[in-house]
Structure 1
Amino acid sequence: MKTINILLVLLMTFSFVANAHGDKNKDKGLFKGIDTPAAKVVLAFHQALETGNKELARAQLADDVTIYEGGRVERSADEYAHHHMLADMKYLAAVKTKTLEHQVTILGNAAISASRSHTKGTYKGKDRDYQGMETIILEKQNEEWKIKHIHWSH
């Protein structure tokens, strides 16, 4: 948990520094580190959710992942896989999401993935059009990157 707290402080510092200079460099550096092995795990997770591949999505998660979304917390990969994952897959199948920016920073055996996206479409009869943010913390476990924490908001 101490490692995650340190990563969160670093992420907040990184976010402040990245945004402290206004829009003069707004298009520079919006996509960084997305070719790293840690980023590939995040991208595989997104692709699995978008295509309804439950097994592939679950394989990207650490067993003890925590997922924060909409005021709720899921405290394990199995809890997410058996509860909210299928709803996420149905939602993502109904809307279009475009990544606006994505940065991945590796810090030893930990990595931070921070992204912003735009989602638009109709789900259950309601129009959706919003920008969302995602923070994912990954941990290298047995030489493989696993998603340890996800925070989704919009």
Structure 2
Amino acid sequence: MLKNTSQLKMISLLLLGALSSFAVNAHGDEAHPNKSTLFVGIDSEPAHTVTAFKKALKQGDQVTARKLLADNVIIFEGGGIERSADEYANHHMHADMAFLKAVESTLLEHQVFTQGDIAFSIARSSTEGSYKGKEIKSIGMETITLKNTDNGWKITHIHWSN
């Protein structure tokens, strides 16, 4: 049973995001001339938080990246899970920074939806380059949820896959 309205809002937003991604996949590789539907809500405060987090990772700025995460953030990546900002900052964040520094990523789609003090961001990106002697060419998917706090928007969940 859901304990509060915030949980219900979060579930609703995640379901909307999942349905949005099914709609994108249902059309395969069709060309869509209207790019405005691929970039939605990118001028919002939650979108700026997501962008600042990615920029901090790319630049190797651990302090800024950590500051943008809620203390109890949960991060899913590559079948693994990290259950706090400190766990991520002390472990996998370093590898993510090294990887992002070595490759070039191009944002293909970014949609951010906000309802009250909860927001979610869905994005697709193309990544190419070389990392640890291995050629990289992949399409990545990302879902990030955020909560508006007394200290601004904080990332509460990240799910990365490619």
Given the two structures, how large is their TM-score scaled by the length of structure 1? Answer: 0.92
In structure 2, the residue matched to 1:14 is 20
Question: What is the SS of the residue equivalent to 1:35?
Answer: coil
1:40 to 42, 48, 52: 48
Deviations 1:21-50 (A, max 9, x none): 774745341111111111000000000000
What is the deviation of 1:19?
Answer: 5.6
What is the deviation of 1:83?
Answer: 0.3
Question: What is the SS of the residue equivalent to 2:74?
Answer: strand
Distance in structure 1 (CA, Å) of the matches to 2:129 and 2:152: 35
In structure 2, the residue matched to 1:5 is 11
- For the pair 1:81 / 2:99, whether they are aligned, the reply is no
1:119 to 127, 150, 154: 127
In structure 1, the residue matched to 2:107 is 99
Task: Report the identity percentage.
Answer: 51
What is the deviation of 1:9?
Answer: 1.4
- 1:42-81 aligned at under 5 Å gives the runs 42-81=50-89
Number of matched residues? 154
What is the deviation of 1:108?
Answer: 1.0
Distance in structure 2 (CA, Å) of the matches to 1:139 and 1:37: 11
For structure 1, which segment, 16-25 or 77-86, has the greater mean C-alpha deviation from structure 2 after superposition? 16-25
Deviations 1:129-153 (A, max 9, x none): 0100000000111161100000000
Uncovered stretches (5+) of structure 1, i.e. residues with no partner: none
**Runs of 4+ with deviation above 2 angstroms:** 1-7, 13-28
In structure 1, the residue matched to 2:118 is 110
Q: Which amino acid aligns with 1:91?
A: F
Q: Which amino acid aligns with 1:140?
A: N
Cα-Cα RMSD: 1.8
Uncovered stretches (5+) of structure 2, i.e. residues with no partner: none
